[in-house]
Amino acid sequence: MSKFWNRKINEIEPYVAGEQPKKGEQVIKLNTNENPYPPSPMTRVILRTFDYSNLRLYPDTNASGFAEAAAKKEGVLPSQIFAGNGSDEVLALCFQTFFEKESRTSLPVLSPEFSYSFYPVFERFYDIRSELIPLRENFRLDPSDYTGIPNCGIVIANPNAPTSRAISLEDIEVILKGNPDSVVVIDEAYGDFTDPYFTAVSLLPRYPNLVVVKTMSKSYSLAGLRVGYAVASEELIEGLKRARDSFNSYPTDRLAQVLAAGAIRDEAYHRACTDKIIATRRYTTEALRELGFSVPDSSANFIFAKVPEGIDAESLYKNLRARGILVRYFKTEGLDDRLRITIGTPEDMEEFVDEVRQEVNNAKNG
């Protein structure tokens, strides 16, 4: 609290990111859904040859080089790409561009009760009303729950976080068709880990109310670079640009633009890393199920595992932390019997499973 902060800043509960270990601390980091593999070797070449003297010039506001590369990958026009400083910023601009400010008559934004915890922070920060839609059994999202409710917009992470579950393109279409006057934001931060791969971008030609938000942080191993992007109709992209130019017209810097463009062009490397993570996800899911965990099939680069009977999720989280293994625990009713575990390298996950096995055995014997 401070008398110098305005009321909103005094009252807001900001987003809390997963722990970042101290410099030099040796840990297995499975708590913020980062990628265990380095970014494309192309990024290394670009870094080496980057002309530092260009940094005196402002960057291209539309990140045109990156937008062209992203458009090619997504099969859309460069004018259908909007690049931002991480997908968090792109999402924040979506909230400001497409949803209405709170008033007694304003309609809410709909999102699942358990989802990315930044959405409610944006809603409070931008004074937007929200309505949380309960998930069904085992965190299943039923698209019919998103039709027939007056709203000013819809935000859904697909795959959802932290549940790891994905809905199909058919389900997304039900939501789009049922809400032709609202913008539907599909946050595909983890979309590249669906198996087989699919993306709501394929629905864009038929639904002018769709925005698909993607990130370079997860499957492209560039969380440190801060580049995310939206894919949508030119009309919606134009709206995002208006919001951007009312806030910060240079959200991605020169270096980020060329590095992200290099990474997104290297599809072979991207696919190879993603396939490795999908295989390691399979191994980890099966190993935890054998230890008595209940693990829904994940479509993301993390799993959301319910601890076996007799084990306390928070204690397990703390014991793993004490042994240098970081996972994510949410002290929220409905989620507090689970751990969210990012998929690391096979070696990381073998070590993780060994530690968990010991914990389970200790609990059984103790």
Q: Which residues bind ligand PMP (CB under 6 A)?
A: 86-88, 116, 157, 161, 187, 189, 215, 217, 223, 228
From the list 26, 30, 20, the residue with the least C-alpha distance to 288 is 30
Residue 187 CB, nearest distance to ligand PMP (Å)? 5
Nearest to 204, CA basis, from 195, 213, 196: 213
Q: Which of 134, 62, 74, 122 is nearest to 98 (CA)?
A: 122
Q: Which residues pair with 232 in a beta bridge?
A: 211
Give the residue with the Cβ less far from ligand PMP, 40 or 291. Answer: 40
Please tell me what DSSP assigns to residue 154: E
CB of 282 to ligand PMP, least distance (A): 21
Closest residue to ligand PMP, judged by C-beta, is 86
Q: In what order do the strands lie in the sheet with 130-133?
A: 81-84, 228-232, 210-215, 184-187, 153-157, 109-112, 130-133
Q: Which is nearer to ligand PMP, 114 or 352 (CB)?
A: 114
**CB closer to ligand PMP, 86 vs 239:** 86
Query: Smaller CB distance to ligand PMP: residue 335 or 360?
Result: 335
Instruction: Compare residues 19 and 290 and give the one whose CB is closer to ligand PMP.
Output: 19
Please, what is the minimum distance in Å from the beta carbon of residue 195 to ligand PMP? Answer: 18
Cβ proximity to ligand PMP: between 87 and 299 the closer is 87
d(CA 188, CA 212): 7
Contact 217, 34 (CB under 8 A): yes
> C-beta of 34: minimal distance to ligand PMP in Å?
9
Q: Minimum distance between the CB of residue 223 and ligand PMP, rounded to whole angstroms?
A: 5
Nearest to 62 by CA among 91, 80, 83: 83
Minimum Å distance from CB 324 to ligand PMP? 22
Q: Considering the complex, state which of residue 198 and residue 319 has its C-beta at the smaller distance from ligand PMP.
A: 198
Q: Which residue has the tokens 């925005």?
A: 211
Distance CA 160, CA 334 (A): 15
Q: How far is the CB of 278 from ligand PMP (least distance, A)?
A: 18
**13 to 85, 93, 123: CA distances (angstroms):** 22, 19, 11
